[in-house]
Chains A and B, each alone.
Chain A
Amino acid sequence: MSILIDEDTTFIVQGITGREAVNLTRECLDYGSKIVGGVTPGRKGREVHGVPVFDTVEQVVEHNGGRVPDGSVVTVPPAFTKDAVLEAIENGIKLVVIVTERIPRRDVAQMVELAGMRGARIIGPNCLGLVVPGVAKMGGIGGPARNTAQAYQTGSVGVMSRSGGMTTEISSTLTAAGLGVSTAISIGGDAIIGSTYAELMPLYEADEQTEAIVIYTEPGGRMEAQLAEWRIENDSRLPIVAFMAGRFMDDEEMKGMSFGHAGTIVEGKEDTATEKIARLESAGIPVVERIDAIPDAVKQQLSSPRNES
């Protein structure tokens, strides 16, 4: 099994005629994903790697005999993203992956609020999407199908990461160590995102294939604190191992500077790497110092009986 997507998942690409979108369409099709249409306003009638292009999401649904696709990958410029996401949700789509970065927070918050009202889920923005190794991928995660296959092999570890590139680096390390990946999600690097670690945990919890979780974290925001709280409040069967990047940002000189991602900025004490590591560890989530230490930490967690509860 997997979470969010499987071999039957159908999705569309909004902004499909853009350079990046053309590439990710090719990559997803090659990997076995089912892309049932694309949308770029004014480009109806074209094709992108055999995928028909429409002016509106409504037209895609009509073209598919009234069947609403399961998901949408949105790769339109920041000024048009909110409209595209609202269009997807109001046409009944339940899973929206937003690739676009530099979207103002107010727009993101509006999209997320509407998704909550309509029972839809947003992944991102500023993310590369998600992949179920050997089954399907939704977004540019892992790159061309051949590269994705090399880095991601089926296994037991769920991966969530605020960095798209590090999702692949960590998954590749887990693959090389023989643990493999169940579902890997690039959750996005912005200050406000559609789905946080804690919000995705119940899905992994319900997925039999997943036996452990690895998260990639950074300074900035309260997402890690939220996960620590979730972990304390819930009797989860899943051990979690964390990696924290950006420890250098704790230096006083770096305060107020943003590195890596828009959401990665130390503004208050709670934002620092030191503070987050302490919170995670006090919730029973070990934080490793090296990517190559992750597989052993996962194995150790899997072999040790749960004794913290």
Chain B
Amino acid sequence: MRFYEYESRRLVEAAGIPVTDYGFAQTAEEARKIAQEIGGPTVIKSQVLSGGRMKAGGVQFADTPDEAARHAEAILQLEIGGHMPRGVLVDPKAQVKQEYYASVVWDGTAKKPLLLFSDMGGVDIEEVAEHHPEHVGRGHFSNLLPFSDFQAKQVIAAAGVTGRELTRLTPILARLAGLFQDRDMTLAEINPLAQLEDGSFVALDAHMEMEDEARPRQKAVLAELGIADDDVREVHEPSPFETKVGAVDAADHRGVIQGKDTGFHGNLGLVIGAGGGSLTLTDAVRSHGGDPANYSEIGGNPSVAKACGLAKAVLEKDGVEKLAVMMSIVSNTRVDIVARGVIKACLELGKEPSETIAIFRIPGAWEEEGFKILERYGIDYCDRSISMHEAARRAVASFQEDPAEAEAEAARP
């Protein structure tokens, strides 16, 4: 989960890294008050969970409290990257001598955290790494042994920094490494890490992301920031379909279902599984020219009610004409239970199962029982001898009015 900048700054501050004397405001009046207290030029920054704030006009400079209030008013109503801001951050305009960069990320290949540092801050680190590799220092550190200052010094020195800057930056990087570990971050970034005219360092912006799986054990920290359990901060706001499927899943502990339709706009409803099977099948439908209405995952042997709930949610989506019910070979999820669920969904919505279900391809556990039920309802099904791609092709072909023409169409490369 991603933190807002004002939350990230609080986390950084709590870890002992200096920050400016900023304030968080949710109204123009609050922004004016904070600017008054600061008593000089300020920066007004949109608190929104998307990048590109500067370009979108979400960062403005003000010389007076009145100007700060006017900018806050405008920024509070400015949507950026599909998100409305949570508020604005009012920051004293710093007298910056030089901008640096520091971050910690996971390296999945080394399986260790990676500390990154550069004396060219304020810009995209990937570009610095590409064009000025000698200005980037990096170093992995252990998850078992405690972090030691020399590791920070090595990384700082590798970027070509020495003197008082090196000794002043060392505790900041060490604390950032500690914050990354203690708070289960997947990204802990300070950019820019600014050196002020008086030689001191402050975090001028911070970007923190915590691993979702660690939220239960970071409850205290999240509560301190006022973040509720249901504040999930997905990249997109959940759609009505996603909310509906989530409710069906939560209502029954047996098995797991998931549904997503952000970015899907088609007419073929997908009731598919499991993790890898769903990825494979979504690709397969699209490779045959099909247009999925959604993405879904069935796994872990769901109940009839759950399979039915997912199928109904898909069928109730605007523009969905048919369902394709497909999975890779199952060993835990039962074929007969999924078959019962999807048939029940059709019947409850007054639809004819044999016309609504374009194809049923789930081989594996309890398949004999499942196939018997499907036969009774005249539903087109297949076993493992029919590949996932062939099943997807049949589902797509079922949309063509003339079956012979459809076959020819689908067979074309």
Contacts and interface: CB of A to CB of B under 8 A. Distances in A.
Are both chains from one complex?
yes
A218 interface: yes
Given A165-B276, A292-B389, A245 B283 contact: yes
Interface in A252-269: 253-257, 259-264, 268
Given A113-B143, A113-B144, A222-B108, A292 B214 contact: no
A117 to B, nearest CB: 8
A291 B364 CA distance: 17
Interface stretch (A9-17, A56-64, A137-145, A274-282): A137-145
Interface string A120-163: 00000000000000000000101110011001000000000111
Interface string A77-109: 011000000000000000000000011111011
Contact of B280 (A142, A223, A245, A251): A245
Contacts of B95: none
A289 B126 CA distance: 31
Nearest to B385: A176
B374 to A, nearest CB: 19
B263 A166 contact: no
B275 interface: yes
A166 B277 contact: yes
Contacts of A226: 109
Contacts of A261: 275-276
A114 B217 CA distance: 22
A243 B389 CA distance: 13
A104 B211 contact: yes
Contacts of B181: 106
B163 interface: no
Interface in B246-283: 260, 262-263, 273-280, 282-283
Contacts of B286: 247-248
Contact of B283 (A108, A112, A166, A246): A246
- Indicate the size class of the contact surface on chain B: 35 or more
B142 A168 contact: no
B365 A144 contact: yes
Nearest to B214: A104
A147 B331 contact: yes
Given A106-B181, A248-B286, A259-B295, A163 B277 contact: yes
Size bracket, chain A contacts: 35 or more
Secondary structure at chain B's binding surface: helix, strand, loop or mixed? mixed
A301 interface: no
A173 interface: yes
Contact of B184 (A104, A176, A223, A251): A104
A110 interface: yes
Contacts of A189: 275-276
A292 B392 CA distance: 13
A285 to B, nearest CB: 17
A163 B331 contact: no
A191 interface: yes
Contacts of B385: 176
B203 to A, nearest CB: 22
A162 B106 CA distance: 19
Nearest to A268: B126
B111 interface: yes
B383 to A, nearest CB: 11
A183 interface: no
Contact of B387 (A109, A191, A290): A290
Given A165-B329, A247-B283, A262-B213, 19 more contacts: A78-B213, A108-B111, A110-B144, A114-B144, A142-B331, A143-B332, A163-B276, A165-B327, A166-B280, A168-B331, A222-B108, A248-B283, A248-B286, A255-B235, A257-B236, A261-B275, A291-B389, A292-B388, A292-B390
10 contacts: A109-B106, A109-B112, A113-B112, A162-B276, A166-B328, A169-B329, A172-B329, A222-B108, A260-B276, A291-B389
- Leading 4 A-B pairs by shortest Cβ distance: A143-B331, A163-B276, A253-B263, A292-B387
Interface of A: 23, 78-79, 102-106, 108-110, 112-114, 117, 140, 142-144, 147-148, 151, 161-166, 168-169, 172-173, 176, 189, 191-192, 196, 216, 218, 221-223, 226, 243, 245-249, 251, 253-257, 259-264, 268, 289-292
